[in-house]
Amino acid sequence: MVSILFFLATLVASAFADGYTCANIMRNPTQNLSEPYYYPETWRENMEPTKYAPNQICNWQINVPEGLYATVIFYKKTDSESGIKCTYPNGEQVYIEDNDQNPYKFTYPRFQIDLQVGDKQGEFSFKVVWSEYPDGRSMYIGLDGVHSIASVPTSYYTTVTAVNQVMLVGFSVPDVPLALLRQSAIYEGGYTNGTYLGNLVNARSGQIYSTSNKLGVYTFGLEKFINQTVFMVLDSRAAGDIVQYTGTNCPTDPNKSCGIFLNSQKNVSAVATISRQPDYLTLPKGFANSITLKIYGETMEESNLFATINSNYQSMFPLRVTNSLKIYHSDTGLLTVPVAKNADAAKWNSVFDGRYIIVRSFDFNRQSYAQDTTETFVTDPNNQMYFKFNVKYLDTNGPTTLDVNVYKNGVAVFTATYTATNPPLPFPNGILGDKMEVNYQTYGNYTQGFQVDILTTKNDSPTTFPTLAPGASTTIGTGATRGTTQRYESTTKSGINKFSLTTLAIVGFVMLV
């Protein structure tokens, strides 16, 4: 009898050492949703993952009824076994990484786990928890065919409606693991029981479209970990000719680099950044002659074109790009544009022979109270340059002023104050000096801002800079504008498109219920 018991114990121990053999399993939620489903059923998360036997194939089909979602954590320790995968409700299959215990979120109607392994043994276990969607408030966003709206993670159920299709653009999250973005779901039709379209990890690879004009987003508590833009939505028409559209957040760690990477080898691509700070761009290491980089503020309309950069790139950097939403558009090739931490790191205020400078208020071409701007540009020590400038656009309201001053050896050699009653005048010649100041002050009034273009050269040749022309248009503010607003717009043709005057468009509507 003792011999038989010893034999059975040895057999069990031997089987355990060889690892488990799995079978194809279909699993429904537990009757009590507070009870997780474990595999193997005797395993718990405080244990090491269970060994599996080599040379086997099996799968688990796990159902997720309407009104529920599933949270799954995989515990995998292998020799980078590639045959262990999971499949989302939309059919997307992803490789399960070793030692990655960031949760996965799966939605209606089901997901699948596949194990197909060779002759090497490994360890693999998992835990599934089904949950009801929590009661929560909803946020409704209405898109026009022009503007984009960005979002950080929230506890709201977000429903987006477009004129055509909704396009969702995903943003990088350099301060946290990308795997955290798995805690999100994007639904067709704006409801959690709609067709699953993907998550924010998928959106990092390329934009996600709704098949109708409505799309929903839920981020499963992601707001506890991330306080940056994670996605942007726009009407598909607003993207113009963009085929590949992504978003970039720069790291908050000042020791980490940041750049705008555009891969347009096969298709037109664009990258968006969103912040209430300018982007300070520095000279790329390589800029092929075939590349045309266009930079837009807020929308892809020609009236919001900030700059066009191609063969003129040597003179255009460093560049200070304003507006909350900056859109970088490239038609061909590969391009990485470094983004500096601040103006000093970019050497934004230093000038050189042939430099072309665009000075704009932050919310240019939008009615805003945040337009005050002060910039100072200096030459290298003991050097002097000709400063040639063109007041491209000036919006004044009430006592708003634009001051332009040029200094040589500490003495002002040119000074001008432009106002509603003293508009900019033609000034075709350069002013020799070592420092130039541009100061736009609104004194608490809202305006659409200003733009001054500057060219710095060693020689004073009028032909190197377009002949300046005075502002030609004057617009009287309506009843919605306090006081009288005067706007002056240069008719000079330069390397940058002239901005048209438009009233502030409605970006969309957001309603909480």
- Which of 239, 260, 277 delimits the end of a domain? 239
Same domain, 370 and 510: yes
pLDDT score of 359 more than 60:
yes
CATH number, domain containing residue 471: 2.60.120.290
440 within domain boundaries: yes
284 within domain boundaries: no
Q: Residue 392 in contact with residue 455, Cβ under 8 Å? A: no
**Alpha-carbon separation of residue 348 from 135, 186, 258, 320 (angstroms):** 50, 40, 17, 7
Q: What is the pLDDT of residues 112-138, one digit of tens each?
A: 999 999 999 999 999 999 999 998 889
Q: Return the half-sphere exposure (C-beta side, CA atoms, 13 A cut-off) of residue 142.
A: 6
Tell me the three state secondary structure of residue 503: coil
- Enclosing domain of residue 503: 349-513
Q: Residue length, the chain?
A: 513
Same domain, 200 and 181: yes
User: What distance in Å separates the CA atoms of residue 260 and residue 268, rounded to the nearest whole number?
Assistant: 15
Phi-psi map region of 325: left, alpha, beta (phi>0 left; psi -120 to 50 alpha): beta
Same domain, 75 and 58: yes
User: What distance in Å separates the CA atoms of residue 481 and residue 476, rounded to the nearest whole number?
Assistant: 9
**R_g (Cα) of the chain, nearest Å:** 30
Same domain, 43 and 123: yes
Same domain, 58 and 207: no
Same domain, 127 and 147: no
CATH number, domain containing residue 219: 2.60.120
Q: Return the closest-CA partner of residue 185 out of 213, 211, 153.
A: 153
Q: Two tokens at 226?
A: 């991330």
Type and span of the H or E element at 200: helix 200-205
Mean residue pLDDT across the chain: 88
What's the DSSP call for residue 299? Answer: S
User: What distance in Å separates the CA atoms of residue 397 and residue 386, rounded to the nearest whole number?
Assistant: 31
- Which of 239, 264, 285 delimits the end of a domain? 239
Q: Pick the range with the lowest mean pLDDT from 69-78, 285-294, 368-377.
A: 285-294
Q: What is the pLDDT of residues 237-295, one digit of tens each?
A: 999 999 999 999 999 998 999 999 999 999 999 999 999 999 999 999 989 989 999 99
Tell me the three state secondary structure of residue 334: strand
In degrees rounded to 5, what are phi and psi of residue 504?
-65, 120
- Read off the pLDDT band of 14 (50, 70, 90): very low
User: What distance in Å separates the CA atoms of residue 29 and residue 477, rounded to the nearest whole number?
Assistant: 63
Q: Pick the range with the lowest mean pLDDT from 62-76, 185-199, 330-344, 416-430.
A: 416-430
Domain count, the chain: 3
- For every residue of 80-133, DSSP letters joined together read S-TTEEEE-TTS-EEEPPTT--PPEEE-SSEEEEEEEE-SS-EEEEEEEEEEEP
Q: Return the half-sphere exposure (C-beta side, CA atoms, 13 A cut-off) of residue 46.
A: 0
Q: Residue 499 in contact with residue 473, Cβ under 8 Å? A: no
Same domain, 42 and 145: no
User: What distance in Å separates the CA atoms of residue 248 and residue 142, rounded to the nearest whole number?
Assistant: 24
272 within domain boundaries: no
Same domain, 77 and 219: no
Q: Pick the range with the lowest mean pLDDT from 11-15, 52-56, 214-218, 273-277.
A: 11-15
Task: Determine the pLDDT at residue 1.
Answer: 43
- Which of 132, 161, 187 delimits the end of a domain? 132
Beta strands per DSSP E along 162-213:
166-170, 185-188, 196-198, 208-209
Same domain, 187 and 65: no
179 within domain boundaries: yes
Same domain, 77 and 217: no
User: What distance in Å separates the CA atoms of residue 93 and residue 75, rounded to the nearest whole number?
Assistant: 18
382 within domain boundaries: yes
User: What distance in Å separates the CA atoms of residue 25 and residue 36, rounded to the nearest whole number?
Assistant: 16
pLDDT score of 465 more than 90:
no
pLDDT score of 205 more than 60:
yes
Tell me the sheet residues that pair with 394.
Answer: 450, 488
298 within domain boundaries: no
User: What distance in Å separates the CA atoms of residue 269 and residue 292, rounded to the nearest whole number?
Assistant: 11
Q: Residue 234 in contact with residue 164, Cβ under 8 Å? A: no
Please indicate, yes or no, whether the overall pTM of this predicted structure exceeds 0.85: yes
Q: Two tokens at 6?
A: 């010893």
- Read off the pLDDT band of 488 (50, 70, 90): low
Same domain, 22 and 165: no
150 within domain boundaries: yes
Sheet with strand 208-209: strands edge to edge: 148-151, 231-235, 166-170, 208-209
The mean pLDDT of 102-111, rounded to a whole number, is 98
102 within domain boundaries: yes
Same domain, 147 and 122: no
Tell me the three state secondary structure of residue 403: strand
Q: Residue 499 in contact with residue 302, Cβ under 8 Å? A: no
The mean pLDDT of 215-225, rounded to a whole number, is 97
Q: Residue 5 in contact with residue 11, Cβ under 8 Å? A: no
CA 431 to chain CA mean position, Å: 40
- Read off the pLDDT band of 489 (50, 70, 90): low
Q: Return the closest-CA partner of residue 199 out of 104, 263, 82.
A: 104
pLDDT score of 9 more than 60:
no
